[in-house]
């Protein structure tokens, strides 16, 4: 009985290891004129013969240091291996994502989101799926992308374009 318990436990642990649905961890950086594009969102749309809208759309929110990690909708962390068109949305900093929440009679400020609600700083130039300006390839193992550098001068506050690579 003890052997069967350990066999079942080992099978359960082994099946739970790794990312679901063939997802692999993907990380990268997004910089605007060499500075972190804090709060921007990167969307990875698959480039395939079936069309770029097949499957989940992995996305990441750029942190204070410019880094991001991809998440695939409700499937989990990472992205499927393949080639992607990379879209960027970077909203102006109206609001800071902090929301007042009442807890046990006291008011606390709770960070709800790093996503901003203002106009797109990049004026939609990096959010057009018909003319993607950035591309990346996710390998069949953990992938750390080279930084995406946005250097053009279209920003409404700080943000712009160049190619990210692996």
Mean pLDDT of the chain: 74
Q: What does the pLDDT read at residue 11?
A: 42
Q: What is the pLDDT of residues 77-123, one digit of tens each?
A: 999 999 999 999 998 765 555 444 444 555 544 444 555 567 888 98
Q: What does the pLDDT read at residue 87?
A: 95
Q: Which pLDDT band, with edges at 50, 70 and 90, does 9 fall under? A: very low
Q: What is the DSSP letter of 91?
A: B
Contact 55, 45 (CB under 8 A): no
Q: What does the pLDDT read at residue 74?
A: 79
Q: Is the pTM of this model over 0.75?
A: no
Contact 138, 80 (CB under 8 A): yes
How far is CA 156 from each of CA 37, 114, 117, 120, rounded to the nearest angstrom? 13, 19, 14, 8
Structural domains of the chain sorted by starting position, each given as residue range(s) with its CATH number in brackets: 19-150 (2.60.40.10)
């Amino acid at each position: 009985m003890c052997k069967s318990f350990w066999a079942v436990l080992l099978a359960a642990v082994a099946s739970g290891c790794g990312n679901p649905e063939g997802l692999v961890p993907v990380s990268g950086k997004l910089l605007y004129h060499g500075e972190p594009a804090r709060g921007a969102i990167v969307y990875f749309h698959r480039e395939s013969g079936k069309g770029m809208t097949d499957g989940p759309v992995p996305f990441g929110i750029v942190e204070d240091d410019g880094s991001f990690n991809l998440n695939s909708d409700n499937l989990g962390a990472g992205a499927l291996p393949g080639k992607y068109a990379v879209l960027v949305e970077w909203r102006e900093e109206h609001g800071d994502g902090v929301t007042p929440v009442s807890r046990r009679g006291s008011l606390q400020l709770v960070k709800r989101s790093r996503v901003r609600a203002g106009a797109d700083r990049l004026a939609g130039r990096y959010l057009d799926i018909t003319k993607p300006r950035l591309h990346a390839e996710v390998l069949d193992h953990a992938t750390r992308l080279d930084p995406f550098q946005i250097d053009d001068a279209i920003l409404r506050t700080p943000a712009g374009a160049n190619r990210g690579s692996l």
